[in-house]
């Protein structure tokens, strides 16, 4: 049982690390604008499935690591992820009952909230002329959510030890 616990933890950790790799994956040209926020998607999935295990602490620490990885202002992803995950924790029971489409809508708003926070922080830092493409990852993230969901579902149902 205890070993299983560790394996469970390890599994979450590995998927999040992979998500971080995808976050900085080298894509050339304009396609890079479409790269969704994989880390947030993975975090949301684990919060919905295992709310007793993955929570704000995970969100905050992986947010901080993402900040360092992508060279942002230290703490902006940490803040955005923590807030989104807090909302997910609040609603996870209801969300499990939601039909597929509604769940997608919820994910859309999660991603939008995170991006909105990042936008505000960026504007505080230096009022920059951000391109409209800044918002594209929200849409691609929503579109890719079923894939992430299915993949992580497979990972989480995969039993190593009984």
Which residue ranges make up the site for another protein (CB under 8 A)? Answer: 17, 20-21, 24-27, 32-33, 35, 64-65, 68-76, 78-79, 121, 124-126, 128-131, 133-134
Q: Of the two residues 48 and 58, which places its CB atom closer to another protein in the complex?
A: 58
For the CB of residue 108, give the shortest distance to another protein in the complex, in Å: 20
Q: Which is nearer to another protein, 3 or 31 (CB)?
A: 31
**Which residue stretches of 29-157 are H helix?**
38-49, 56-70, 76-97, 100-125, 136-157
Please answer whether residues 110 and 88 qualify as being in contact, where contact means their C-beta atoms are separated by less than 8 angstroms: yes
Tokens 């493409």 correspond to: 133
Q: Which CB sits closer to another protein, 68 or 105? A: 68
Of the pair 11, 92, the CB lying nearest another protein is at 11
Whole-number Å distance between alpha carbons of 92 and 74:
28
Closest contact distance (angstroms) between CB of 66 and another protein is 8
Alpha-carbon 137 to chain mean position: 12
């Amino acid at each position: 049982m205890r070993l299983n616990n560790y394996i469970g933890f390890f599994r979450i950790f590995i998927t999040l690390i992979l998500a971080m790799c995808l976050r900085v994956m080298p894509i050339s040209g304009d396609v890079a604008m479409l790269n969704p926020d994989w880390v947030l998607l993975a975090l949301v999935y684990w919060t919905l499935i295992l709310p007793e295990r993955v929570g704000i602490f995970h969100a905050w620490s992986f947010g901080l690591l993402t900040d360092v990885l992508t060279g942002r202002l230290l703490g902006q992803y940490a803040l955005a992820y923590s807030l989104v995950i807090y909302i997910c924790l609040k609603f996870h029971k209801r969300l499990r009952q939601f039909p597929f489409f509604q769940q997608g809508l919820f994910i859309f708003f999660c991603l939008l909230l995170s991006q909105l926070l990042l936008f505000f922080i960026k504007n505080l830092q230096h009022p920059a002329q951000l391109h409209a493409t800044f918002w594209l990852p929200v849409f691609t993230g929503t579109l890719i959510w079923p894939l992430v969901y299915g993949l992580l579902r497979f990972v989480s149902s995969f039993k190593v030890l009984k």
